[in-house]
Every structure is written in structure tokens, then in C-alpha cells.
A and B are shown apart, each in its own frame.
Chain A
Amino acid sequence: MNTMTIEARVPLDGALNPNAREVPLSSTQITDYDHRQTVGKITVDNPKMLCREVNVYYSEKHALRQVSLDIGANEVIAFIGPSGCGKSTFLRCLNRMNDTIASCRITGQIQLDGDNIYDKNIDVVQLRARVGMVFQKPNPFPKSIYENVAYGPRIHGMVNGKAELDELVQASLERAGLIKEVEKRMDEPGTSLSGGQQQRLCIARAIAVNPEVILMDEPCSALDPIATAKIEELIDELRENYTLVIVTHSMQQAARVSQRTAYFHLGDLIEIGETDQIFTNPKHKLTEDYITGRFG
């Protein structure tokens, strides 16, 4: 490997010798890794949610292994990783959406403000009012725009009277940055909006019940870049009042909107850290390989 020589004269006519120095093809790397070990600091100073040693099984399949991490108050945390890595599964654990899957079994602790959400005396209805969710495909109810936003407050009995409800709907749409676009067409079906507007309607619907945490499962994967940018801007604004957890396939998006990023791989939480650190200087080889596009 010492074939490079200064004396090797570089011809001056432009036909330069590209192999004056050899670039090594590989160097010593730690390629195997401990399945249980997460790289990076999992704790934060002011945690909103606390997850410890969470395991998820689908029938016999061990879908998520020993995941422990904190979700800080008023932060945006992004979960990234290749398909089937368990990031969506973990997200759905946070408001017990996995309960609907009969074969799904969950062990470990997930706390919201110190209460274990899998405790017997926690009602999922109350939990999901506190931990809202926005899905990959915009899924407004096939009802009017107004009804879409009013649905949550109505079923939870949050308002007294029509005036109060009107006000809440108005405020939610405003916070979702949609009010200007739908002011004149509140009675039109939610499905008549464009994809990006539908997704913001879903966000408005989620924040209408004033949740503490909002989970977003690839909220922009069905949207064009402009609509995506609007959602990302919205996420940034929402951070002031809510804690946001976002699963995304777009690493650029994770880099743009989140403060912390967690990388999942085949059911393991591989690395977690500040987003800028993850994207400039990841500690784990798997993270590095994934974000630089060397995966597979």
C-alpha cells in the first residue's frame, strides 16, 4: 500500500495519472453489532414520554427489541430506518393503535407524563385524546370540513354549544394553516380538498382535541414538494405547543423538521441523537450506511 511516490512525475499535458495515490477500498470497521445496544443518549432533560425496553411481537415474530428512548416535551423527534425496521410499529405503540391487531403483544414500559399507558386503569380513549395521530394517507372522514374538525371535540364532549364548537373549529383550522383556504367552503366534503390540504385538515382534526403529543406516520409521503413544505413549516410551528413524533422515509425531511433523530434497523433502535449529529457524524456504521445511501 506504499506505492505512492512523490517522484512519480505528473505529466503536464493534462493526461494526469489518476492513480498517483491508491485509495484504500476498505479499512478496519466494526461491522457486527450488539442487537441490544443503542448508540447515543436516549434520555432528555424534560421527557414527555418515556419508553423503556419496549418489545413488540406479532404472533411469533419479534418486531421490536428492547427499545428505550425518551421523547422530550416540545421537541420534534424523527424515526427513520428502512422499511420493516419497526419505526411505524413503535410509533403505533405510543397511542396503543397496535391494540387493534389481535396478534400483537407488547412488553416494557411506555410512560406519558409518568403514567404507564399500558396500565390497566388507562383507557385508550383518553390516551388517544392526549396522543393524537396523523396517518400516511390523508384520511379525512367523508363528511364536511367542519364536521371533520368538530368530530373529536364532539365525541369527547369538550364543548358546550354550537358557538363554542364553531370557535374551536375555527381556531384549529387556523393553527393548521388551513383557515384561509377553507373559510368559504366549510360545508364542502373534506375529500374535495387537495392532498396537502386534506393532510392539514387531518392535522387540524388532531389538534382540535388539544392533544399533548401528535404522532405522524409518514405524513408527507403522498404529497408533492410544495404541500410537503407547508406541512413541514406547520410541524415547526406546532412544536411550540405540542410534542411531535414523526416517522419518515425521507431523511431530508427528518433532517429538516426534527431536533432529535432515532434510527431503527430490523427491530432494533440502533442510534439516537441530535439530528445534526446523526446527519453529519453518525456514530454507528448502520446509521452511516443508511443515511449515506449505502444500505443493502
Chain B
Amino acid sequence: MNKLDDSAALPPTASRDIKTIVNAGLKRRHAAERRFRGYGLTAISLGLAFVVLMFANIIGKGYPAFWQTYIQVPVTFDPTVIDPDGRRDPKALENADYAALVRAGLRGLFPQVEGRRELRSLYGLISNNAPLTLRAQVLADPTLIGASQEIWLLASATVDTLIKGNIDRTLDESLRPVKDNELGWIDQLHASGKIQRKFNTILFSNGDSREPEQAGIRGALMGSFYTLLITLLLSFPIGVATAVYLEEFAPKNRWTDLIEVNINNLAAVPSIVFGLLGLAVFINFFGLPRSAPLVGGLVLSLMTLPVIIIAGRAALTSVPPSIREAALGMGASKLQMVGHHVLPLAMPGMLTGSIIGMARALGESAPLLMIGMVAFIVDVPRGITDPATVLPVQIYLWADLPERAFVERTSAAIMVLLGFMVLMNGLAIVLRKRFERRW
């Protein structure tokens, strides 16, 4: 009995030993923990630094694009030029030579300028869309004819770039896009307060253009809008229905397994392959118009569907089985169970998946290149079959152009695109919260 007791009791040193052993290792453990935390913090700060860098770069480059240089020119709406007949015929007004008015105004500002070359340089200060501006004003208000007004006209991209300080004045004249005489005029105008920077509404109201000061993203925005509309209308209902069917109704057999594997694989297919598919099927086989948001939307739907289906199935499986049992136990049919209980509970997850899929579609350019949405399109599309381009493709197009003003606009377009991404993700969060508030 005693012997047993002795062997059962711990030797008195044991407890002390374990203490010292643990203490010895403790330092090492804490150090490992600190190291790990250090790695994590480094990784996060590195990531954040890159994000900040990217945003700073883009915003720094793109911010000036939201401002545009205007030159105040005294314009006399000379009836002999605009309306020689004096009948105020709108047709005649439309076809009148407004450029002459602009030229006359500029000559009025700098009467000392002479010679064809000099004058052409002078006229070059104003964007070539100035006559259109004047025409629009006259057509809107014919009483202007005969009057004289100081009018702010859009400056050319070169002037704009110079004013924004992006042209090095110290360079040799032959290397500079702005010659010395132009520099003199501009400085003169600037000094007399006849040059101003205003908010760039053109960026948001115009389509693409060869002239940077007239190029806008409205065409691309509308193109993106129509494309995404098609994508959403097609992929969300089909995706949700597929997810529900596969998860809740489909028998589990080889065929559904095969379908499941294929859907998962589709999500990993490079997006350009969908572009090729769209080209082959929608355009070449079905004969749908090229460059149209309709085809773009179809292609992006194909790309987004797997994402929505996978997210939808994940959302459905996360609905607790007890809710299904409760509904079935009450005598609800399968469809009632899904419709009344499972789907509402899975909706936040499905919406999040869909919106993330849509955001991906919004940022996609590769497949759209294949179906011709890369064309240079000046007109703003007014429907899903009009030729159009989308924001990322527009960015891609502008990024190729050499003019300094396009570099700005590229960054501005990127900012707008990022803005929409953030907006969509925000929407996803808001929708999820809204639905989740219903317990």
C-alpha cells in the first residue's frame, strides 16, 4: 500500500521542473509569435503602400483631366457671315461659317499678327470644336446675330497642356510643341485674365475623339452600362436558377457531378477564350452586330455565370439544414421550402457573389477586344445594338495615344472605373446588410 502511494505521488521536483522547462521555452514561443505578427504587419503595410502608390499615381495624373482650359474671345456674330440672306433660315444658320467668327475674334485680340503661318498658329490656340459651340449658341438664341460678346472658347490641347505646366518652357523651340510666338500670345492672354481653367464637362458628355480636348468617356460609360445591363439580366436569373436547381432539386448522380465539375472549370477559363467563343457563336454564327453591347453582354454573361452559380451554391449550402427540416416538417413542398425560406436566407450571399461577378465583368476588356468593341466610336450608343466600347477598352485605347492630354484622360477614366467598382462593392455591402437585417 505504501509503496503504491510513493510511486503514485509525483516527486516534489517534478512540478518545479515543468515550471523551469516551460519558462525556458517561453521566450522562444513569444519571439516566434512576435515574428509572425511582424511578418503579417509587413505584408499588410506593403500591400497598403502599393495601393496608396497606385491611387496617388492615378489621381495625381488624372486629376488635371477634370479641368479644362478656356480662352475668352470677343466674338461678333456678324450677320453677313452667318446669315447673308437675313432670313434666319435654320438650315442656313446651321451651315454658316462660324470658324470665320472665331478667326475674326482672334485677330481682334492680336491685331499685330500677320502672315499665313502666323495666323494659322494663332487660330490653333482654339480647339476646332469652337465653331460648333458658336453654332449651338446661335441656333439656341438667334437674337445673338449682330451682337458682340466675350465668349469662353475651349482651348486646344496644346494650350491646355502648357497651362497645366506639362510643357517644359526651357526646351529648345524646335523640340517644343509650343513655339515661341504662341508662348507669347498665351502669356499675354494669361496676363490679361483671358485664360481660365474650368471644370471639364466635356469628359462626361462627349464620346471618343481624335482631339484630346474633345474626348470624353460618355460613350464608353454608356457602352459599359448597356453591356452590364445585358450581363445582369442574363446571368443573375440564370445563375440563381441553376444554383437552386443543382443544389436543391437535381439528383446526385454522374451527370450532375459532371456538370458541377464543368461549372467549376468554367470559372477558371481565361476570359479571352469567352471572347473567341462570342466571336465564333454570336457574331459569326448568329450574325449579331459587331461591337454591340448585346454581344458584349452575352459574352460577359458566359464569363460571369460560373461565378454566380458557385457563389449561389455556396450561399445555399450555408443555409442551416434545420430551416429546411422545419419547412418540410410543416408540410411545405420542396419549392415552397426553397422559395419561402432557403432563397431569402441565401439571397445576401447570392447578391454579393453576383455583384462581385458584375464588378469583374465591368473591369473586363480582353473578351470584348475579340468581338470588336475596341473600335474607335465617336457617337454615344443609344441602345444595345449600337456600336459601343466600354470603359476598360477605352482606357486601353487612350493609353496607346501619344498626346499628353490623353495620358491625363486615361488616368481620369481609370479613376471613374475604380469609382464604379467601389460603388458596386458598396452596393453589395448595402444590399447584404439590408437583407440580413431581416434576420
Spell out A's residues near B (CB within 8 Å).
95, 97, 100, 102, 124-129, 132-135, 137, 139-143, 151-152, 155-156, 189, 191, 202, 205-206, 209
Given contacts A125-B332, A152-B330, 8 further A-B contacts (CB under 8 A): A95-B329, A100-B324, A100-B328, A128-B331, A129-B331, A141-B326, A142-B323, A142-B439
Once the chains bind, are A139 and B322 in contact (CB under 8 Å)? Answer: yes
Which B residues lie within 8 Å of A139 (CB)? 320, 322-323, 325-326
Task: Kindly provide the distance from the CB of A136 to the nearest chain B CB, expressed in whole angstroms.
Answer: 9
Which A residues lie within 8 Å of B333 (CB)? 125
Once the chains bind, are B330 and A135 in contact (CB under 8 Å)? Answer: no
Chain B contact residues: over half helix, strand or loop, or mixed? helix
Q: How large is the interface on B (under 10, 10 to 19, 20 to 34, 35 or more residues)?
A: 20 to 34
Once the chains bind, are B322 and A102 in contact (CB under 8 Å)? Answer: no
Within 8 Å by CB of A205, from B325, B330, B438, lies B330
Q: List 30 A-B contacts (CB under 8 A).
A: A95-B329, A97-B325, A97-B328, A100-B324, A102-B251, A102-B252, A124-B331, A125-B332, A126-B331, A128-B329, A129-B331, A133-B325, A133-B329, A134-B329, A135-B322, A135-B326, A135-B329, A137-B322, A139-B320, A139-B323, A139-B326, A140-B326, A141-B326, A142-B439, A151-B332, A155-B331, A155-B340, A156-B331, A205-B330, A209-B331
Task: Kindly provide the distance from the CB of B257 to the nearest chain A CB, expressed in whole angstroms.
Answer: 13
Once the chains bind, are A206 and B331 in contact (CB under 8 Å)? Answer: no
Once the chains bind, are A141 and B341 in contact (CB under 8 Å)? Answer: yes
C-alpha gap A127/B333 in the complex (Å): 11
C-alpha gap A202/B251 in the complex (Å): 30
Report the nearest B residue to A127, measured CB to CB.
B331
Once the chains bind, are A155 and B330 in contact (CB under 8 Å)? Answer: yes
Cβ-based interface call for B336 (8 A):
yes
C-alpha gap A127/B331 in the complex (Å): 7
C-alpha gap A127/B340 in the complex (Å): 20
Report the nearest B residue to A126, measured CB to CB.
B331
Report the nearest A residue to B436, measured CB to CB.
A142
Which A residues lie within 8 Å of B329 (CB)? 95, 97, 128, 132-135, 206
Cβ-based interface call for B327 (8 A):
yes
Once the chains bind, are A141 and B323 in contact (CB under 8 Å)? Answer: yes
Task: Kindly provide the distance from the CB of B322 to the nearest chain A CB, expressed in whole angstroms.
Answer: 4
Closest A-B pairs by Cβ, 8 of them: A139-B322, A133-B329, A128-B331, A129-B331, A142-B439, A139-B326, A189-B439, A152-B330
Task: Kindly provide the distance from the CB of A191 to the nearest chain B CB, expressed in whole angstroms.
Answer: 6
Task: Kindly provide the distance from the CB of B244 to the nearest chain A CB, expressed in whole angstroms.
Answer: 16
Which A residues lie within 8 Å of B252 (CB)? 102
Which B residues lie within 8 Å of A152 (CB)? 330-331
C-alpha gap A235/B325 in the complex (Å): 21
Interface string of B332-345 (1 = CB under 8 A from A): 11001000110001
Interface string of B206-241 (1 = CB under 8 A from A): 000000000000000000000000000000000000
Report the nearest B residue to A208, measured CB to CB.
B330
Task: Kindly provide the distance from the CB of A243 to the nearest chain B CB, expressed in whole angstroms.
Answer: 16
Report the nearest A residue to B320, measured CB to CB.
A139
